[in-house]
């Protein structure tokens, strides 16, 4: 039997993802050691391998087949736009993709003026403003702490994920427009889906039934 390789996204989704997998009997004791610097973990008995990957890299590992299965947010799946199958909504990591900014930016959005939009998600932001709103904007790519942009005058608004809304609130910003809801999804390599259909379908079924 070949190994099935899992690539859950590290970061805020990791703990929940691992406990969901554990709840259907997919486990790896080695992985629970927080002090370990190991990158890849093996469960010989179940012929499984696991590695935690940076969320934005999960779709790439899965597209190339370096991982058969990944777990990552829908925001990353849409932004990365890789050739992978999105097979299941895991109903965790729920948040919203939003346009946010100071209340004063509302009028700029409504008037359709040329504004600057800072974001970690240039593809999603372009699709929203150009294709859905038909508004010409300048997209500025940042890599983190996006809420800083309107505060320091880099942009009028941001496109970012909002979970509890605390970061916006504590920085005097609010949600101005909602783009879509998000949650974590299970993704599968397209070849693995055919070659390992039985094992992968059984995993999907178990995960679906636990919900």
Residue ranges in contact with ligand PRP by CB under 6 A: 120, 144-147, 160-167
Residue with Cβ nearer ligand PRP (162 or 186):
162
CB of 176 to ligand PRP, least distance (A): 14
Alpha-carbon distances of 203 from 22, 75, 183, rounded to whole Å: 12, 23, 19
CB of 112 to ligand PRP, least distance (A): 26
Residue with Cβ nearer ligand PRP (75 or 196):
75
Cα 123 to chain centroid distance, Å, stands at 14
Residue with Cβ nearer ligand PRP (75 or 156):
75
Burial class (CB in 10 A: 0-12, 13-18, 19+), 10: middle
Query: Which residue is at the shortest CB distance from ligand PRP?
Result: 144
CB of 106 to ligand PRP, least distance (A): 19
CB of 119 to ligand PRP, least distance (A): 9
d(CA 101, CA 96): 15
| Beta strands 69-73 and 184-188, pairing class | antiparallel
Residue with Cβ nearer ligand PRP (48 or 139):
139
């Amino acid at each position: 039997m070949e190994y099935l390789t899992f690539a859950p996204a590290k970061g805020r989704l990791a703990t929940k993802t691992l406990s969901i997998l554990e709840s259907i009997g997919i486990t790896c004791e080695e992985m629970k050691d927080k002090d370990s610097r190991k990158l890849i973990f093996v469960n010989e008995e179940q012929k499984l391998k696991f590695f935690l990957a940076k969320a934005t890299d999960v779709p790439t590992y899965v597209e190339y087949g370096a991982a058969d299965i990944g777990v990552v947010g829908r925001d990353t799946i849409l932004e990365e736009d890789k050739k992978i199958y999105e097979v299941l909504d895991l109903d965790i990591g729920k948040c919203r993709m939003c346009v946010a900014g100071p209340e004063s930016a509302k009028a700029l959005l409504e008037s359709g003026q040329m504004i600057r939009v800072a974001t970690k998600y240039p593809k999603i932001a372009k699709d929203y403003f150009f294709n859905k709103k038909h508004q010409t904007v300048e997209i500025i790519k940042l890599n983190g702490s996006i809420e800083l942009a309107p505060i320091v005058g880099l942009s009028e608004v941001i496109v970012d994920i909002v979970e509890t809304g605390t970061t916006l609130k504590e920085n005097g910003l609010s949600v101005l427009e909602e783009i879509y809801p998000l949650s974590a999804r299970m993704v599968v390599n397209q070849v693995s889906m055919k070659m390992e259909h039985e094992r992968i379908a059984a995993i999907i079924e178990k995960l679906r039934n636990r919900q």
